[in-house]
Amino acid sequence: MSKRYNLSLIKSNFCYTFTEIAKLFHLDISSPQRWYKQGLKVLDEHQRPYLVLGTDLISFLKKQKAQRKITLSEGEFMCTHCRKARRSKNDEILIVMSNVEFSAGNRKADIVGVCETGGSRLRLFSSERKIKEMLNKGQILLPQGERLIWSATKPVNAWFRRIEL
């Protein structure tokens, strides 16, 4: 069952640590940590402990609530413009790698697409590990003869690839 959060407890101009967020909603620390992996914005990814601005926490939880009503099938994104599950145009996706590591060898990575019905940007928060799994299962296909190269030096790497799920 999904939990309801009393958003009026959050001060929009206040900065919260994950511990403070957990305390605020009587949750385990793993909840804000999971939200972070799902896209909760932190002020500075290179600074510990992570700090979350109240207004970002509010918009994340509101978005979560809206998304819960929509079930995504494989290969679909939640389009914030259409407010519906959409596929990316021509099923093409872009993988945006970040240099932020969730754990050793598992960097934060986003799957980005373009809404099939318009030009809206679609985004799915993911990780290096999950994307590698999808590649292994053939859920992300690379054009013939090409290789996905994981660069450790560049913060952002982008490829346009066909996704077939």
Contacting positions for Zn ion (CB under 5 A)? 79, 81-82, 86, 115, 120
**Rg over CA atoms, the chain:** 17
Closer by beta carbon to Zn ion, 56 or else 76: 76
Closer by beta carbon to Zn ion, 83 or else 162: 83
Residue 119 CB, shortest distance to Zn ion, in Å, is 9
Do 98 and 125 meet the contact criterion of CB atoms below 8 Å apart? no
CA distances to 102, 118, 165 from 88, rounded to whole Å, are 26, 10, 12
Closer by beta carbon to Zn ion, 51 or else 85: 85
Q: Which residues, other chains included, contact 144 with Cβ-Cβ below 8 Å and sequence gap of 6+?
A: none
Residue 122 CB, shortest distance to Zn ion, in Å, is 7
Residue 108 CB, shortest distance to Zn ion, in Å, is 24
Residue 151 CB, shortest distance to Zn ion, in Å, is 31
Distance CA 42, CA 45 (A): 6
